[in-house]
Amino acid sequence: MRPIIGITSYVVPATWSVWNDLPSALVPHDYVEAVTLAGGRAVLLPPDDRDADVLRAVDALVLAGGPDVDPGLYRAAREPLTEVRADRDAGELTLLRAALAADLPVLGVCRGAQLLTVAAGGSLHQHLPDVLGHERHRPGPGVYGEQVATFAPGSRIAALMGGDRTIHCFHHQGIADAGSLTVTGWAGDGLPETVEDPGRRFVLGVQWHPEYRRDQRLFGALVDAARTAMKENRTACADR
């Protein structure tokens, strides 16, 4: 069986065929294709903060990119360029906390890495050009910034990325304090690009967009971790 990988999603107005601005649950298909190519079965998870029961039906969780995390969650005032979606914050934090408690494999992408950070007690820079003095992390609407990252020797991300350290970013916020997570990757300007929790089975947050290139190093590692978790769960059930 293919591991089932839950991917968090937006609910936003979308237009196709005869439908115009119809509220729709969606993510870029790049996420789905990246999971499929890695050997997983993608399932979209729209925002829902009632409970995290759906995690009993998935083997790993992808926290997808999207709008800014509410600064109130890290005890900061909202700045003028910060745009939040309370439904995603509430729904995804419900899933994330339950996934961490169950040691479910988690991959956070862009906003997902920031949400991991906030859940770990960390904080964010709300507008990077004000901090760094440039816009290379988000060059323009729909344009990814290409950079070369540096990774901590011996870290999970260093082992996964190997010799190709090129990353593709699209974010105007960034990690200021990683909380209880470990920063293991940096952009050339020193901004954290990767956070990990070495004490868990697989908890990895990347500030860039690996789905853009269907990066099988990261999505493959997530699916492998999910497959291992599946086997361990079957063994535990058989022993009862």
3-state secondary structure of 4: strand
Catalytic residue among 110, 125, 137, 172: 110
DSSP state of 139: -
Q: How far apart are CA 132 and CA 75, in angstroms?
A: 22
State the Cα–Cα distance between residues 63 and 171, nearest whole angstrom.
15
Active site residue 33: no
> Which of these is catalytic: 92, 172, 211, 237?
211
The residues with which 49 forms a beta bridge, in sequence order, are none
Reference 177, options 123, 141, 116; nearest CA is: 123
- CA distances 104 to 56, 212, 215, 229, 230, Å, are 10, 24, 21, 8, 10
Phi-psi region of 232 (alpha: psi -120 to 50; beta: other; left: phi over 0): alpha
Token pair of 4 as six digits:
């089932």
Q: Is position 169 annotated as part of the catalytic site?
A: no
Choosing from 137, 171, 172, 209, the catalytic residue is 209
Catalytic positions: 110, 209, 211
